[in-house]
Amino acid sequence: MQFSTSVIALLASTMAFASPVPDVEASNELVARASKTGHTCTGDYDGTPYAVLACVDTKWVSKTKITAVLSVRDSKADKNDVYGYYRVCWYDGTCKDYTQQRNSHGAGSTTTSNSKTWERKGVNIKSVEARACVDDAGPNTCIHGDALKWGVKENAVASIRF
């Protein structure tokens, strides 16, 4: 069977590929091929000098809704408490910080929050980012990592697991 070049060109131009990045129009539907879970960390990894590691495990429920669990590890015996939280950003340019999880148990200990669900109707989620802090005597030392984009499984430093 032979096809003319115009038929082949027409077929090629009508093929579409699913993208894990949502459009900015609000929707409760997941996008085909978008990851349904995500993991991102920031803080003490790969020999960095921080005394804290915070990781957030995310379930992308829909474009406007997530479920998240935050874990915080104290990685230095310096008698300072540590804490973490995560920031959710939307396509309208706003961001909100959620779930401060404290760890007062000392070096090597990890605390984990209960699973929490967050939704903002009408605006799609753009990203989730872990933030980690040391409760210093003066101003607290806080760091943040790369934002985990909507529908992406993990960022570059997310291979860390507790």
Q: Residue 107 falls within a domain, yes or no?
A: yes
> Which residues, including other chains, have CB under 8 Å from residue 76's CB and lie 6 or more apart?
44, 51, 52, 107
Kindly report the length of the chain: 162
Assess if residue 158 is contained within a domain. Answer: no
Q: What's the CATH code of the domain at 92?
A: 2.60.40
For residue 118, what are its two tokens? 């967050």
> What pLDDT band is residue 6 in, cutting at 50, 70 and 90?
very low
Is 157 inside any structural domain? no
Examine residue 123 and state whether it is found in any structural domain, yes or no: yes
155 within domain boundaries: no
In a domain, 161, yes or no: no
Tally of domains in the chain: 1
Q: Mean pLDDT: which of 21-25, 38-42, 53-57 is highest?
A: 53-57
Considering the entire predicted model, what is its pTM? 0.72
Among residues 130, 128, 131, 149, the alpha carbon closest in space to that of 140 is found at 131
Range of the domain at 29: 5-149
Mean pLDDT of all residues in the chain?
77
Distances (CA, A) of 131 to 18, 147, 162: 31, 10, 16
Q: Does residue 63 form part of some domain?
A: yes
Q: Is residue 87 part of a domain?
A: yes
Q: Select from 9, 37, 20 the least CA-distant residue to 154.
A: 37
Percent of the chain with pLDDT over 70: 70
Instruction: Flag whether pLDDT at 34 surpasses 70.
Output: no
